[in-house]
Structure 1
Amino acid sequence: MTKLLLPSTYIAFFTQLRRRFSILLLGALCIIPSVSIAHPHSWVDIQTEVLGSSTHITGLRMHWTFDAMTSAYMLDGEDTSAKNKVTTFQTIADSVMENLLQEHYFTYFYQNEQPIKYKVSPGGSLSQDRMKITLSFELPLATPQPLPEKPLELRVFEPSYYVDLAWKANSDITLAEPLKEHCQVRVIKPNPTAEQMSYAMSLPADADPDNALGQLFTQTVTIVCQPKL
C-alpha cells in the first residue's frame, strides 16, 4: 500500500510531533481514495472540561479521541505487548505533547478578543478503547481568570483543516463542579458558505495548505458566567 504525499508544511509540523505521527493523522488518505481528494482527512472527537473554582477559571482538561484508522496508524510498528504497552504509550504521548506546545496545542481561548495564555501542559497520556486511541492532557492557564461577565470563547482547530477537531455534542464540553453554579457553556456550529465548502472538498491531497480553512470550519464554545457577589 502506497502512502500519498502530504503538503510539505503540514508534514514538517507533524514530523516534529513524531515521525510516524505526521502520516498517521492522514491515514485515511492511504486507504480510501474517495476521501483523499477532500478535506479533512482525519477526525478527532474532543471532550473538554473547564477547570476552576467558584471565583476563577484555571484551565482546561482535554480528551482527544482519534478515528479508528488514524489510531491504527498511530500504533503501527510499535511494541504494544502486555509487557511494554504502558511504556510505549507514554513515549508516544510525551513526544506528541512536547511538539503540540509549538502549535499552542491547537487551542485558542479568548476574552474580549484578547488571547488567554497557558502554562506549559504538565504532560499527557494515551489510552485505548477498542479501535480508538485517546490523548488526554491538561492546559493550566498562565493566570487564573476571574469569572467573566462577558463570554469567553474557546476554539480548537488545525489551521489547514487536514484534521477535523470537533465537539460532537454540547455535552462534550463540561464545567468543573465549582463552576456549574455560576457558568454555562454552549457550542456554536461553524457557518461556512457553500463556496467555501466546495473549495475545501476540491483540494487535492498534495495541494499547498490553506491555513485559513481551519478557522472557517471550527466550532466556537462560549462560556458565560455570573460572578459570585
Structure 2
Amino acid sequence: MKQLFILTKVLSSLSSRYVRRFSTHLRSIKRLPLWLAILTFAPNLHAHPHSWIEMKTHIEGGNGMITGLSMEWSFDAMTSMYMLDGEDVSADTEAETFKKLAASVIENMMYEHYFTYFYDGEEPIKYQVVENAKFERDKAKMVLTFDLPLSKPKPVTRDSLRVLIFDPSYFVDMSWLSNRDVTLSPELARQCQLELIEPNPTPEQMSYAMSLPVDADPDNTLGQLFTQSVELHCTAVPAS
C-alpha cells in the first residue's frame, strides 16, 4: 500500500483486511451524499485503510486571550484493537505501555502540526509542543488526551478565528459529533461563541474523491474539503 499513516504505527499497519461498514460512521447529513455514492458506485474503495476518531476540544484562556487547546480523541474499537496488537497490556505493564504509546503517537503527529490547524483569517497560529499526553482505555476504545499550548497567547477577534482538525489525506475520519464537543473556558465563554460548520464539498470534489483508486497516492488536499471547522465569534471585551 502506498498510503502512509502518520498518526501511529496502528494507522500505518492498517490494510485491506481492516474493512468497516461506512454507513455506521456517517458524521453529518452533509456527508451522506459522498459516502452513499461511495457505497453505491465504488465498492472497491472499501479496501482503503480507514480509521475513525471522535473528538472533544476545549479552548483554554482568559482575559481576552486564548492560550491553548485541550484534546480528547477516542479511536474506534477496531483501530484500538490494532493499536494494542502485540503490546503487553497485563496489569503490571499496562500503564507503561500506554505511556510509551502516547509518546510515540505525539512524536509522529508533531510533524503534521498535530493535525490541528488554528487560523486568524489566513494566518496560521503556532503551537508549542504537546503536554500531558496520555492514553486511557474506555471499554473497547483507546482514548488519547493531550494539551496543545499556543506559542504565545492569542487575542480574541470578532470573527476571524477558526479551528480545523483533520487528516490531510482523509484516510482518517476525525469529527466532533456535536457542537457540545467543542467548549470554551468559563472566561472565554463570557465574550465568545462557537459555531460548528459542517463541510459542503461540491459535486466535482465528491466525484474526484470517488474516482481515486485503491492504490493511489494520498491527496493531501482532500482532508480540508471534507472536514468540519469551528469559528469563534467574540466581543471586543469580556462581558461584565
TM-score by length of 1: 0.87
Q: Does 1:157 align with 2:166?
A: yes
Mapping for residues 124-143 of structure 1, pairs under 5 Å: 124-143=133-152
Match of 1:71 among 53, 70, 80: 80
Partner of 2:19: 32
Match of 2:95 among 81, 86, 89: 86
Q: Name the CA distance, whole Å, in 2 between partners of 1:201 and 1:133.
A: 30
Q: Secondary structure at the match of 1:148?
A: coil
Check conservation: 2:11, 2:51, Cα contact below 8 A.
Answer: no
Q: Name the CA distance, whole Å, in 2 between partners of 1:112 and 1:207.
A: 32
Deviations 1:158-196 (A, max 9, x none): 111100111111011001111111111111011112332
Q: Secondary structure at the match of 1:87?
A: helix
Percent of aligned pairs with the same amino acid: 49
Check conservation: 2:168, 2:222, Cα contact below 8 A.
Answer: yes
Q: Name the CA distance, whole Å, in 2 between partners of 1:47 and 1:220.
A: 13
Cα deviation, residue 148, structure 1 = 1.4
Q: Secondary structure at the match of 1:30?
A: coil
Cα deviation, residue 208, structure 1 = 1.1
Report how many aligned residue pairs link the two structures. Answer: 216
Check conservation: 1:37, 1:202, Cα contact below 8 A.
Answer: no
Check conservation: 1:94, 1:123, Cα contact below 8 A.
Answer: no
Q: Name the CA distance, whole Å, in 2 between partners of 1:6 and 1:123.
A: 33
Cα deviation, residue 137, structure 1 = 0.6
What one-letter code is carried by the residue in structure 1 that aligns with 2:57?
A: T
Deviates more, 1:189-198 or 1:70-79: 189-198
Give every structure 1 segment of 4 or more consecutive aligned residues whose post-TM-superposition deviation is greater than 4 Å.
33-36
Check conservation: 1:78, 1:88, Cα contact below 8 A.
Answer: yes
Segments of 5+ residues of structure 2 without an aligned counterpart are: 23-43
Q: Does 1:194 align with 2:181?
A: no
Q: Does 1:103 align with 2:112?
A: yes
Cα deviation, residue 41, structure 1 = 1.4
Q: Does 1:223 align with 2:232?
A: yes
Cα deviation, residue 198, structure 1 = 3.4
TM-score by length of 2: 0.83
